[in-house]
Amino acid sequence: MKVGGWAAIAYVLAGVVKFGVSLIVLGSLEADISLTPVLAVELLQSLALGVVVAGLHDWFESVDPRLARTALVVGLGAAGIGVIANSWEIVGASLPIEAVDVVVVLAQTLGGAWFLLAGTLVSRSDSVLQRSGWLGQVGGLGLVLVAVGYVVNIVQPASSGLGGVVAFAPLLLIFGLVFLVRLGQFAASGSFAAGPI
């Protein structure tokens, strides 16, 4: 459990690093040679997610075994897709654009589903984090909406309806990061006893 907690914190830190590196890439005149650092950080983030999912499974299982098993499969699926796809890109084996679209949408949808399930499990627990479960649910919804927006942009790039709504979805991801920080804080210390948040 403690390993999962530290991995949650590592995931958040990797996200912050990825944001910074992405800004540098976007501002670089030689962006093509700067893509590898971004992919490397995304690879680390995917690995961290896998550790978070596996590390927290025992606790989730004590809350709701069936829902926990679903969360485990979904979470490891999202992490696995991220690891394989980013590793593939890092070694220079470019994927067809259609395959990239499928991978991105699938990874985001599965990742969002895990956050939704994790948030639900935390809300059902009797831990100090019980009232923080909604953060994971909102963050998960954000990831799913990001995936929907990606699809909408592919199918109808000029769409201003649903596409305009999901344009705000990335803001919801902040709630998911806060959720992971909360999970990481308490899992790393091994403190999940009931009590005030």
**For residue 197, is it within any domain?**
no
**For residue 111, is it within any domain?**
yes
Distance, first Cα to last Cα, the chain: 19
**Amino acid 33: pLDDT:** 42
Residues 97-147 pLDDT 10s:
677 778 888 988 999 999 999 999 999 988 878 888 999 999 999 888 888
Lowest mean pLDDT among 14-18, 84-88, 157-161, 178-182: 157-161
Evaluate whether 162 touches 152 at the Cβ level (below 8 Å).
yes
**Amino acid 193: pLDDT:** 47
**Amino acid 116: pLDDT:** 95
Structural domain span for residue 156: 2-189
DSSP string, 68-131: HHHHHHHHHHHHHHHHHHHHHHHTT-PPPHHHHHHHHHHHHHHHHHHHHHHHHHHHHS-STTGG
Beta-carbon count within 10 A of 59 CB: 18
**For residue 195, is it within any domain?**
no
**For residue 196, is it within any domain?**
no
**For residue 55, is it within any domain?**
yes
**For residue 194, is it within any domain?**
no
Residues 177-197 pLDDT 10s:
899 988 888 776 666 544 433
Percentage of the chain modeled with pLDDT above 70: 76
* pLDDT(47) > 60: yes
**For residue 98, is it within any domain?**
yes
Q: State how many domains the chain has.
A: 1
**For residue 32, is it within any domain?**
yes
pTM for this one?
0.82
